[in-house]
Chain A
Amino acid sequence: MALLITLGATAAFLVVLIFAVKARTEFFKNLDRRWIFLLMLVAVAVPVYVIGKTKETFPEKALPKAQAVFDVIEELSEGDKVLLAFDFDPGSEGELGPMATTFVYHCATKKLKMYFIALWPIGRQMIDDNIAKIIEPDFPQMVYGEDYMNLGFKAGNEGVINVIVTDIKQLYTTDAYGTDIAAIPMMEGIDSIQKMDLIINVSAGYPGTKEWVQYAVTPFPHDIRMVAGCTGVQAPLLYPYMPQQLPGLLAAIKGASEYESLVINKYGGDDISGKYLEAQRRMGPQLVAHVLMVLLIIAGNVIFFTERKREARS
């Protein structure tokens, strides 16, 4: 039924468009791209406003890759150690922020010990933001140094992974705030990241998931497990690593919303704060924007064929 309605609506759109193009050929032929920008602005702004007002989101069905991420984290038990590597920046926050939030929320709810790390200079700030946004207000019982800690940023890209995979203290003598790691209780007995029960990487590019897979998981396939979340354009580059080196992967906001729905359905409750529904909320504008893109492509083709027919005639 839904498909029929959609096909009908598309056919109606086509007819209207063909008449419009015939009537105002010049306008459509040299369509100013700013009209397209305006349409995109509306397509994004309206759902943002509506979802912000109504707090309603579209239902999300978890596909296998997101389900695998959820399952891998679910397998861990209280007190297990998780390394959260946040390799992204404010530019990609829109795409990756919600999944980072859900990862932290999921780990905190399951009382896992969280070790934050960043290979991007600004990743450190992303960690601080998540600590301030999630752990401090919603999990006040968690103690810094006992339940979570921030190793911060180290320059050197994959070189850092290469070292800490066997010897963490060679590079990290203090945490991100200058405290000697020997004085941090949860660092006791941690001499390499092989001690972690899971690595969770949120990555916007280089260095990121690919480097973690190549330099941490590949040399120690039986000691290091990892799941990741990445931007949409990166995802196809990471599929070859699945499922051996990378059991689960969240691709862009779509993957994040699938994972978020799994986590929130299990742990969220009814009065969950809006900050934990961000991924699902962002799927609203994404849906409308994608539909607009489809319509634009159809429109582009209608203009193209009308023009070609006219040229053939003349």
Chain B
Amino acid sequence: MRPYQITTLMAALVFHVSPSSAQAQTPAPPTNLEVTDHPWDDGKQINLSWELSPDDAELLRYDIYKAVAQTGPIPQKPPTFEQVDSVPAGTTSFTVDGVPFQVEMMVRDLEPHRTLFTDPPLPQNQKKRLKLKVGYVFQVVAIARDGSRSTALASTAPFTPTMQWFEGSRFYFSFMTLIICGAVVFWIYRAKMGRPIKVRKIAGLEAVDEAVGRATEMGRSILFIPGIQDINEIQTIAGLTILARVAKTAAAYGAKVEVPTSKSLVMTTARETVQAAFLEAGRPDAYNKDLIYYVTDEQFGYVAYLQGMMVREKPATCFYMGAFFAESLILAETGNSIGAIQIAGTAMPAQLPFFVAACDYTLIGEEFFAASAYLSGEPEQLGSLKGQDVGKVVVAILLLVGVLMATLGVIFENQALLEAVAYLKETILT
């Protein structure tokens, strides 16, 4: 049973035991209803404000109603008002956004005697958001504790919400995006200017050339698996950037790279990648597009094919670079059983332990994304890694500040600190 249903039930009981409520005196309505556009939104919210009813101390709540204004030269039937929401007595403003969470929030948070309810419960079809280019009229009705209702305070003219050019609720998000992206761009620029950038050694990436070399020595192929997601997944793209390097080294050594894919768009992109890598290595003639092919979109069908192929052809080196799910361990263990050198890279946290257990090297999360920059050694690309570190510092500071404020707030029961934590969580970080 949803909270408002519980309260409705309670309301029914209250009304049932106090029959005198019907004869109670009607409270005075609130005054001066002002309707304004909600700033910095997508044009689907309207702000209402009013002055309290003189009887506010005796009130339980204010009910808010909206109606689509009838327009046109010929006067039509009067607008049909539907309830939007309720706010507790003492409230002087409300934002109509089509999401009537206030009712339930108050049911949950306020003390029982202030419990708000609507009778009958709010029909859910009124949760629809406001529409652009439609005029609305509003009413506010004061409801006394005994259930009696004031006359309605209505807005004077139809009001149409307008859309702004920027979504204000995402201001902090855009600010953080700017800081992190700005840092990345700044460091790319600095690196371009010739400032040296130091990157720690990543064993998995150092081993790429060695692994390709070993396959060449053994006269066996290299298997490259770019995950099972499509090309719109950033991990697949990160995988393909590593494929470019693997293919170039393989072309230089004269090794065979086989790329079975589980998405056909990945196949076409991988072909472009490998072809260009062979061209760059000066071996365009050695490029064979048939080695990059589509198997199936079906996860376990793809796994079954790869297992069979690995056992039959025994590639000397296996790369798993992309987004993986349950197949990670099946592939890595099969590769291990045929004695292949295995290098994996993924940003799927759930699959990392399996790769770590069964592969020789594993690129964990951000190492995987850093691979392209690391392998290329280009200063501009390495600069992006430095910019990423700025992001990490920002996150670390936010974490520390948040944890500290929350801890101190709880220890000293400081309301201001707790409110600041709530603001950080609910407004800045959403």
Minimum distance in angstroms from B240 CB to a CB of chain A: 20
Report A23-37 CB contacts with B as 1/0, cut-off 8 Å.
000000000010000
Minimum distance in angstroms from B395 CB to a CB of chain A: 15
Contacts A166-B129, A221-B101, A222-B105 hold; do A237 and B350 have CB atoms under 8 A apart? yes
For residue B127, which residues in chain A have a CB less than 8 angstroms away from its CB?
192, 194, 223
Give the interface SS of chain A, mostly helix, strand, loop or mixed. Answer: loop
Minimum distance in angstroms from B335 CB to a CB of chain A: 13
Task: Report if A140 contacts B (CB, 8 A).
Answer: no
Task: Specify the chain B residue showing the minimal Cβ separation from A194.
Answer: B127
Total number of A-B contacts with CB less than 8 angstroms? 43
Interface residues of A in 220-270 (CB under 8 A from B): 220-223, 231, 233-234, 236-237
Let me know if A205 and B125 touch, CB within 8 A: no
Let me know if B1 and A91 touch, CB within 8 A: no
Task: Report if B325 contacts A (CB, 8 A).
Answer: yes
Contacts A91-B326, A205-B325 hold; do A197 and B2 have CB atoms under 8 A apart? yes
Let me know if A33 and B125 touch, CB within 8 A: no
Task: Report if B299 contacts A (CB, 8 A).
Answer: yes
Give the interface SS of chain B, mostly helix, strand, loop or mixed. Answer: loop
Contacts A91-B299, A91-B300 hold; do A233 and B326 have CB atoms under 8 A apart? yes
Interface residues of B in 74-113 (CB under 8 A from A): 99-101, 104-105
For residue B351, which residues in chain A have a CB less than 8 angstroms away from its CB?
233
In Å, the complex CA distance between A102 and B1 comes to 20
Minimum distance in angstroms from A257 CB to a CB of chain B: 21
For residue A195, which residues in chain B have a CB less than 8 angstroms away from its CB?
124-125
For residue B121, which residues in chain A have a CB less than 8 angstroms away from its CB?
none
Minimum distance in angstroms from B107 CB to a CB of chain A: 10
Task: Report if A76 contacts B (CB, 8 A).
Answer: yes
In Å, the complex CA distance between A236 and B352 comes to 13
Let me know if A222 and B99 touch, CB within 8 A: yes
Let me know if A223 and B101 touch, CB within 8 A: yes
Task: Report if A189 contacts B (CB, 8 A).
Answer: yes
Minimum distance in angstroms from B88 CB to a CB of chain A: 16
Among A76, A91, A189, A237, find the residue whose CB has the most chain B CB atoms closer than 10 A: A91
For residue A192, which residues in chain B have a CB less than 8 angstroms away from its CB?
127
In Å, the complex CA distance between A77 and B2 comes to 10
Minimum distance in angstroms from B100 CB to a CB of chain A: 8
Task: Report if A180 contacts B (CB, 8 A).
Answer: no
Name the contact of B350 in the complex, choosing from A80, A91, A233 (C-beta under 8 A): A233
Name the contact of B1 in the complex, choosing from A75, A92, A221, A223 (C-beta under 8 A): A75
Task: Report if A138 contacts B (CB, 8 A).
Answer: no
Task: Specify the chain B residue showing the minimal Cβ separation from A33.
Answer: B337
Let me know if A223 and B325 touch, CB within 8 A: no
Residues of B near any A CB (own CB < 8 A): 1-2, 99-101, 104-105, 124-125, 127-129, 299-300, 325-326, 337, 349-351
Given contacts A75-B1, A223-B99, 18 further A-B contacts (CB under 8 A): A33-B337, A91-B326, A92-B326, A189-B125, A191-B125, A191-B128, A192-B127, A194-B124, A195-B125, A205-B326, A206-B325, A222-B101, A222-B105, A223-B101, A223-B124, A233-B350, A233-B351, A236-B350
Q: Sort A-B residue pairs by CB-CB distance and give the 8 closest, nearest first.
A: A222-B101, A233-B350, A222-B104, A195-B124, A91-B300, A205-B325, A77-B1, A75-B1
Q: List 16 A-B contacts (CB under 8 A).
A: A75-B1, A76-B1, A91-B326, A92-B326, A166-B129, A189-B125, A191-B125, A192-B127, A194-B124, A194-B127, A195-B124, A220-B99, A221-B101, A222-B100, A222-B101, A223-B101
